Chain A
């Protein structure tokens, strides 16, 4: 018997959905077990009835609800609330849903500043008032993770999450389980590079030049990027970006991790922990450029990123 599934995307880019579609043949095996009653990306079920005359937003009942994207406006909140009402198990899919994601970088700015820039402050835009219309939902005060708004049962983080974990979580639900979570390991625990627990010191390097490595050799012959002096979030980031096997995705490109899977455990303080990790290899965290934004790149919800008030004029 197929299980009814409802799916939605809120303040999202659709990368999570593409990640599912990249699953390949495992997807064809999994699909017949899932009956999608609502998924705007793929199926034409409508909120207000199929001929658009309904008055209340309606999502069909389902056992599993999958939501990607965080909450950025009143419409997102409305859809999320309806989803929560209609499903037994709510899955937050991807780092926007779990932590706010990249769009939560906006939490460093006031809404007026952002709207000023977009609608009145660009060289190509005819300066105009902010859009205002019943069908243009108002922004919420901040860009939020789903669990800041409603109860979430299962979190599958990642930007995007790896299809291995999406399939794993769904199969666990199909087998009757109600809980699922990624193992608590760091990216470094799955990274094959050479570590000597010390760096050459000096200011932390930006990616203005490439890392040092021999392209003919594997990653197990490359020195750890933090130890090369290049800032990498691996030590404080949850592992799993390349699925059940394989090396961390960004390291595969010989580029540093930026923390897209979020903190290793709930309640962690990645910024504090990361500063500790840098210090432990002899790097000075104060030399990291754009420190607050870069360390909270994917996790700006939950109050991690806030507007810093302008310094008082003396």
Chain B
């Protein structure tokens, strides 16, 4: 796989990272060399190997359906960009 400049810009946009036009060139180069390094793994035959989703040999932990959290609005809303007693307030996002 190789990335071109357009792809770099697209991924940056999706990730909401602003990338300086001047930096796109070097970023493309860097990322491509990282990809090249990773792609060495393709040399191994993994046809009969299950994909590894975790290095821990255990299954998903679960919990009972109990209400044990919430009611901490004041704490939560401390991170709201604008102050309001009940809601997070953000710049208008509407279609």
Real complex partners, A and B? no
